[in-house]
Amino acid sequence: MPELPEVETVRRGLAPAMEGRRIARAEVNRPDLRWPFPERMADRLTGARVERLRRRSKYILADLDSKETLLVHLGMSGRMLVSGARVGDFHHDHPAPAKHDHVVLHMDHGARVTFNDARRFGAMDLMATGSEEDHWLIRDIGPEPLSNHFDESYLVARLKGRNTPIKAALLDQRIVAGLGNIYVCEVLHRAGIHPARKAGRISAARVARLVPLIREVLTEAIAAGGSSLRDYRQADGDLGYFQHEFAVYDREGAPCPRPACPGVIRRIVQSGRSSFFCPACQR
């Protein structure tokens, strides 16, 4: 599933084609994805002007001049692809319609934004603009890791006394928004913390050190366009390339890249997810 860097990369790629532009026509080609679409979604989108694109955790939010906001979640395999407009240095022609093109937004300047989702775990919804923090998918999500609301004192307080593994605690969206399996593995390696260590037994100083490391890893991943492992693509169809910078994720059996560390990357399963770490330098 795309994590914060991938969703932020998609948002940035969509912005030139959507912000300040009107949706000349919206096509909705099925009644649902993971959940049913809102009533009359195509009619409510058609003619609306996109005022602003935002991101909250792993959700893209498009504020419309109709006073509604379109919520988009990419799910496991969802893609938001732009065609018929210049994206960066390239012009992308409209491709032929594909089997899993479930929602298509025809913009007023000729661009087309297509939501393609082969596995249909994605979602779209409409809500009153400004009410997103009350939406059932968003209301329990913690602070954004790149915001001022996420700082050392906050994380120390939230993890104090917790008996869950630090990996599970950082994946808990109620504690911090947008972190997923890939980037938590990378953060814990940089911090030298074993993913199975109990969160409440890590010193306050080491917990505080996680905050700048989380920001560092996410910032680097966004600059690299995210990580493409299976289905993820940027809005122009290109791959991200942060996967080439992984220190531990999906590198089982490889030597630890930390200078002078003799360790070899191991994989364990925690709550059904693979955790990659170096047993020599992560304690």
pLDDT in tens, 173-227: 999 999 999 999 999 999 999 999 999 999 999 999 999 999 999 999 888 877 6
Residue 21, pLDDT above cutoff 90: yes
Provide the pLDDT confidence category of residue 67 given band limits of 50, 70 and 90: very high
Q: Is the dihedral of CA 14, 19, 25, 26 positive or negative?
A: positive
Q: Is residue 145 part of a domain?
A: no
Looking at residue 127, what is its pLDDT?
98
- CATH number, residue 234: 1.10.8.50
Task: Say whether 273 is catalytic.
Answer: yes
Write the pLDDT tens digit of every residue in 4-20.
988 998 999 899 999 99
Q: Both 78 and 181 in a single domain?
A: no
Contacts of 280 (CB under 8 A, 6+ apart): 256, 261, 262, 263, 264
Task: Say whether 2 is catalytic.
Answer: yes
Query: What number is the average pLDDT over the span 132-155?
Result: 96
Q: Is residue 60 part of a domain?
A: yes
Marked catalytic residue, from 3, 6, 132, 186: 3
Q: Is residue 140 part of a domain?
A: no
Marked catalytic residue, from 12, 52, 120, 273: 273
Q: Is the dihedral of CA 166, 280, 254, 219 positive or negative?
A: positive
Write the pLDDT tens digit of every residue in 230-250.
554 555 555 455 666 799 999
- The domain of 196 spans 152-277
Q: Both 21 and 129 in a single domain?
A: yes
Domain boundary (76, 105, 134) is at 134
* Inter-CA distances, 169 with 17, 83, 162, 219, Å: 37, 39, 8, 21
Q: Both 51 and 173 in a single domain?
A: no
* pTM as predicted: 0.89
Looking at residue 86, what is its pLDDT?
58
Looking at residue 232, what is its pLDDT?
46
Looking at residue 25, what is its pLDDT?
98
Q: Which residue has the higher pLDDT, 11 or 229?
A: 11
What would the two tokens of residue 91 be? Answer: 């012009």
Q: Both 217 and 164 in a single domain?
A: yes
Q: Both 227 and 184 in a single domain?
A: yes
DSSP 3-state of 32: strand
Write the pLDDT tens digit of every residue in 92-126.
677 777 789 999 999 999 999 999 999 999 999 99
Q: Both 129 and 13 in a single domain?
A: yes
Distance CA 55, CA 222 (A): 13
Domain boundary (134, 168, 203) is at 134
Q: Both 160 and 250 in a single domain?
A: yes
Marked catalytic residue, from 21, 58, 79, 251: 58
Q: Both 119 and 22 in a single domain?
A: yes
Distance CA 106, CA 23 (A): 6
Looking at residue 283, what is its pLDDT?
94
Q: Both 44 and 123 in a single domain?
A: yes
Q: Both 125 and 165 in a single domain?
A: no
Q: Both 117 and 156 in a single domain?
A: no
